[in-house]
Amino acid sequence: MAASMFGLARATGEVKPLPEAGLRTTDPEAYWLKIRKDQFFLPEWRAFLNNGSLGVAPRPVVAAVTEFLENAAALTSDEYPRWGYETLDAERAEMAGFLGCKKDELAFTHCATEGISTVAMGLDLKAGDEVLLTDHEHPSGKAGWQQRAQRHGITLREVPIPHPPRDSAQLAELMIKAIGPKTRVLSFSGIISPTGVVMPVREICDAARARGVVTFVDGAHMNGQIPLQLSELGCDYFAGSPHKWMFAPAGCGILYIREENLDRLWPSIVTGDWDNKPLKAARFMKVGTNNRATIVGMMAGLRFLKALGPDNVYARIHDLARRNYAMAAARPHLEILSSADHRLYGSLVTIGFKGAKLDDLWKKARERKIWVYGSPQLRLSTHIHTRVADLEAFYSLVDEVLLGKKG
Ligand SMILES: Cc1ncc(COP(=O)(O)O)c(C=O)c1O
């Protein structure tokens, strides 16, 4: 893949072509190892199993960002090298095409938190109106509603999510049954952050819509981790983080506002055009001067993903997750919080340690350059740069620390 295919005007000398596609079928391990070696900066000694917190930008993305910054500093273009007052129509159209929504329903933000806060702050709600959440929301998925509760007297209720869940039907039923007479908004993660459980979003949103309840999906983990078409989710609002699973540099978010909801959401960070409704979703990108290089990097990440083939990427990361699950399941000293039904997870698999003391595990993981989140409920992520050997190194360390086995 030539550098120009990722949107670069000139070759940086650092961006290598993708390997022959045939290698992916004849020798998938060799293909993905080559991708890691050629397309990422990750050194041989690093095992990175925490993509769920923040992904790794590949070489073409770093090159696109760097090149943009260089050109911005040289003022080679007549356009301001910024975003925050611009509508970025071409970029939004390309991203919307990939995510399965209309350009006018999509705004770029800095992260999922910003999109979530925009929705939580921007909906008209009055005292006594209820927002229904799960008990597994990320702090960013709760904070905006909690502030509204303190400021405006809305009430919050959390639906307990079992871990591991039995199946999708159980999850849908729990959420739908919890909708009460005062529920105005259902706000939940499409992929649950601590456990990686994929929620039956469409079923829940359809049921909520039939009851006149607005739906917000915290999709921080969805875009890039699992196949996704936003318009098919059936939700009213969605916030995502391309910097987790879509190879974007840190500082990239998306906010989807279903067309019919565009005019009823109030933007929170405002400048001129804050009430220029014909701008549609672009109204929510008028946030003041911002670094355009991150957007350029995000688009390079999208093109990188498209060049690899999103189906191939999903197949690889899901296969690694299934191997991860099997490695955990083979160890009676561990418990698994993710569902045994692999359709209920994408790449994230969460394990527990049955109360074992873990200080030594985290210390040794650091020493051996195995990057994990370090929590007694440990969410392990696999992306295309993850090697099977990284998972094996982690589990043999677990055996060493918990069972005293030498690897
Ligand atoms: C479910 C969920 N929502 C929101 C966030 C916040 O994402 P960001 O840091 O991109 O704002 C995260 C981050 O891990 C998350 O897991």
Would the CB of 193 count as within 6 Å of ligand 1?
A: yes
Separation CA 199–CA 181 (nearest Å) = 23
Separation CA 260–CA 214 (nearest Å) = 12
Would the CB of 223 count as within 6 Å of ligand 1?
A: no
Longest dimension (CA), the chain: 65
Residues 199 and 226 in one domain: yes
Residues 279 and 318 in one domain: no
Helix pair 292-308, 59-74: axis angle to 10 deg = 150
Torsion over CA: 392, 226, 235, 168 (sign): negative
Would the CB of 195 count as within 6 Å of ligand 1?
A: no
Nearest-CA neighbor of 49 among 271, 273, 381? 381
**36 — phi, psi (to 5°)?**
-60, -45
Give me ligand 1 centre to Cα 113, in Å: 6
- Closest atom of ligand 1 to 253 CA is 10
- Closest atom of ligand 1 to 244 CA is 10
Helix pair 59-74, 28-39: axis angle to 10 deg = 20
Residues 247 and 359 in one domain: no
Q: Residue 100's domain spans which residues? A: 82-302
Cis before 181 (ω within 30): no
Token pair belonging to 159: 């639906």
Q: What is the DSSP string of 18-39?
A: PPPTHHHHH-HHHHHHHHHHHH
Could you list the pLDDT tens digit for every one of the 407 residues in the chain? 444 566 554 445 568 999 999 999 999 999 999 999 999 999 999 999 999 999 999 999 999 999 999 999 999 999 999 999 999 999 999 999 999 999 999 999 999 999 999 999 999 999 999 999 999 999 999 999 999 999 999 999 999 999 899 999 999 999 999 999 999 999 999 999 999 999 999 999 999 999 999 999 999 999 999 999 999 999 999 999 999 999 999 999 999 999 999 999 999 999 999 999 999 999 999 999 999 999 999 999 999 999 999 999 999 999 999 999 999 999 999 999 999 999 999 999 999 999 999 999 999 999 999 999 999 999 999 999 999 999 999 999 999 999 998 76
Separation CA 339–CA 157 (nearest Å) = 24
pLDDT score, position 405: 80
Contact 39, 313 (CB under 8 A): no
In a domain, 66, yes or no: no
pLDDT score, position 56: 97
Strand partners, 238: 217, 256
pLDDT score, position 260: 97
Nearest-CA neighbor of 106 among 288, 244, 268, 252? 252
pLDDT score, position 11: 44
pLDDT score, position 163: 87
In a domain, 4, yes or no: no
Alpha-carbon 299 to chain mean position: 16
Q: How many domains does the chain have?
A: 2
Residues 280 and 317 in one domain: no
* Site to substitute for ligand 1 among 116, 133, 221, 241, most atoms within 8 A of C-beta: 241
Would the CB of 110 count as within 6 Å of ligand 1?
A: no
Q: How many residues make up the chain in this entry? A: 407
Residues 91 and 182 in one domain: yes
Would the CB of 196 count as within 6 Å of ligand 1?
A: no
CATH code assigned at 245: 3.40.640.10
Residues 271 and 323 in one domain: no
Indicate which residue's Cα is closest to atom 1 of ligand 1: 193
Nearest-CA neighbor of 183 among 260, 125, 117? 125
